[in-house]
Amino acid sequence: MARKLTDALKGQDLDFWIDWEGIPPTVDWWEEIQKGIEEADIFLFLISPDSANSKVCKREIEHAVQNGKRLIPVVVRDVTATEVPYELSSLNWIFLREADDFNPAFGKLITAIKTDYAWAQAHRQLQVKALEWDRSNHENSFLLRGKELQSAELQLATNSSKEPHPTDLQRAYVLRSRQTADRQRRIITFMAIGAAIAMTGLAIFGFVQARLATERATLSRAGELAAQSVALRDRNFPVSLLLSVEAFKTRDTVQTRSALVDDIQASPGLLAYLTRNPSRVDSVAFSPDGKILASGGGDNKIILWDVGTGQPIGQPLKKHRNWIRSLAFAPDGKILASGGNDGSVILWDLKTSQPIGQPLKAKKGVVSSVAFTPDGKILASGHADGTLILWDVRTHQPLGQPLRGHTSWISSLAISPDGKTLASGSEDHTIILWDIKTQQPIDQPLSAHSRTILSLAFSPDGKMLASGSEDNTVVLWDAARRRPIGQPLRGHTKFVGSVAFSPDGKLLASGGYDRIIILWEVATRQPIGQPLRGHTDVIHSVTFSADGKMLASGSEDGTIILWDVATALHPTLEPGAFISQVLREHAKPVNSVAFSPDGRNLASGDNDGTLILWDVSTLLNISIKTKRPIGLALQDHTNVVSSLAFTPDGKILASGSSDGTVILWDVSAAHNTGAKTEQAVKRTLTGNGDFITTIAFSPDGKTLAAGAGNSSILLWDVKTGRLIGQPLPGHTNIV
């Protein structure tokens, strides 16, 4: 398959390097492979059971990631999800197995390769130069200068959010280049100042140049910090926030202010980081009274947190011999159940912080999920061998035989509020509903996902079941009819690792491998507000507190975040607060802005003769429509829009322009995205041909006044569009 693929790449005029050829016997083979990876624009990895388990292939992937290469995984022989290196597991795979249709799959591969290919080439060129500098002990002669440096800075600033992402080495290389260039510039400036001691005129000139150089260096530094902040916002929010603060402190500009305010608004509901976990957090759970939060993960320990103070309670609970995958509180809050990779389920007495009896042992492997029935008498556990076990909590014994129905790993469990139904999700892409009393499946398995089911949750009334999957979607199911409700919810760009309903059933939270949490309104099945950002790695678990006021999330980054749900849904604005929404629809400088009398609309006009109407309510609510104009862009002027004004009733918008006209616009027609510009034009008023500088309506809205460039004032009858009398004289210059 590798040879077939390389032959096809030749047909696309694509140059490639593959490590089966081109390494002379006398050459260090690993150095040659490293060089091949470093000098490539794209890194294709052919996935097979052999390559997935190869230590050398693992080193190759790590070297590609270290050098910021865009990874494209190509499956040539089937592997299980657990075999694939972590760096490839969350990416979209292209299948080129012997049984697959080669041409369509190869077409997808070419599309993936050519996406942002110019940036991939520029990224490679910059990385090769940065590596040469790094391997030469940071010798200054290898640094960028002049236009080459400016081009590199522009590339990093404009492509920071694209794949492949800039590497830390590239940023350090460009930053050192800029610092050295600025230092050289300052040296030249100081030399000019020294020479100017004998020549007063040259001394003044040199001083001015030095100030300008320092100013440019400061602005460059502030801009670079702001650009780095934007690049890191989705991947490392805490560092992004620190960088935007430093950028703003360095210099207050539109760019640095925008970066800072966007960071502040990126996670409006973030209450606190809980950071005592040294490793990944796989599961979080609130106690029924909402006062305690339990977390467990890769360090084999359970930490109990005081929600009020954000501090750990006592010492971690330690009995598991491998990482902890799932936690669940008993309904009375006295017992905590934990399931782990060591194949055991432990019941903890929260009063003594000690295990109750011996661990509950399954026959095989990993315990992926645990859940209590509402009465607390039964505990369900899901296992890696595809079985479920129902345990008698009092006796610690299984209730009958293991439940068998899935053909692969059980990844999630959920028990209905009435305690009658158990839902199980599996790596086999299906969900099975079980009758807990009879321990038999209810009807056929539910199938709507195309990949592993990672999380399940019943709504508080038990009428709905939510499922999150590796296919990046959430499906809402009618639990009684056992069929999906509408289309899958799409908003995540990677696996959906966890789902949870709010206690009132009105909200659904989903946490993803794309490091964001989305809050969905269950009734409309639409996202509310903006995604919650704060984690720097995969989100494995989300859960609501019993009162629904808080949401907790656990992540691969080793942190737990507490979110204020009300603030996340409706960010509040204190009196006098700086409301910053940077609206960027205009392509030219904006000359005039005006609010409608009811405050619902904002109008803006620019140098290109374009007007835009904005819906103010979406700007304040920070909804998914934030920063989008309403209706159409109004383009009937042929020159600068110099002034805007609404009539007192807000039904008409007037715009004055340097083209010598005033246009009256029908606001309701302008709201209609299906309308044309001419349909929104109510009337065009013409005066004496001179440019209009300012306009104003009379309090009754019947008269419009306009100041002109020829020192006069014009009055129009709004109803008829006719001039009233002669222009008013008196001024001796532009009004």
Q: Which pLDDT tens digit goes with each residue over 544-592?
A: 999 999 999 999 888 889 998 988 887 654 444 444 455 667 778 888 8
CA atoms within 13 A on the CB side of 538: 22
Six token digits for residue 531: 């995604």
Distance from C-alpha of 356 to C-alpha of 230, rounded to nearest angstrom:
49
Distance from C-alpha of 283 to C-alpha of 320, rounded to nearest angstrom:
14
* Bridge partners (DSSP) listed for residue 706: 695, 714
Distance from C-alpha of 40 to C-alpha of 133, rounded to nearest angstrom:
18
Is there a contact between 78 and 51 (Cβ–Cβ < 8 Å)? Answer: no
Task: Give the per-residue pLDDT at 102.
Answer: 87
Closest among 128, 42, 33, 54 to 91, alpha carbons compared? 42
As a 3-state breakdown, the chain gives helix, strand, coil percent values, each rounded to 5, of 25, 30, 40
Is there a contact between 485 and 522 (Cβ–Cβ < 8 Å)? Answer: no
Kindly report the pTM of this predicted structure: 0.52
Is there a contact between 555 and 274 (Cβ–Cβ < 8 Å)? Answer: no
φ and ψ at residue 256, rounded to 5 degrees: -70, -35
| Residues in the chain where the model's pLDDT stays below 70 | 20-27, 195-196, 198, 201-203, 206, 234, 276-278, 362-364, 571-584, 617-635, 671-680
- Token pair 């989705």 in the structure block, residue: 234
Closest among 304, 309, 308, 391 to 351, alpha carbons compared? 304
Six token digits for residue 719: 């109803």
Task: Give the per-residue pLDDT at 633.
Answer: 59
φ and ψ at residue 377, rounded to 5 degrees: -85, -25
Closest among 464, 459, 393, 454 to 424, alpha carbons compared? 454
For 233-253, where are the alpha helices, taking DSSP H only?
237-250
Closest among 322, 418, 427, 329 to 366, alpha carbons compared? 322
Distance from C-alpha of 440 to C-alpha of 444, rounded to nearest angstrom:
11
Is there a contact between 660 and 695 (Cβ–Cβ < 8 Å)? Answer: no
Task: Give the per-residue pLDDT at 147.
Answer: 85
Which residues does 414 contact at the CB level (< 8 Å), separation at least 6? 371, 422, 423, 456, 457, 458, 465
Distance from C-alpha of 430 to C-alpha of 448, rounded to nearest angstrom:
8
Q: Pairing between strand 70-75 and 42-47?
A: parallel
- Token pair 């383009």 in the structure block, residue: 635
Q: Dihedral angle at the C-alpha atoms of 461, 467, 473, 477, nearest 10 degrees?
A: -50
DSSP summary character for residue 225: H
What type of residue sits at position 357? G
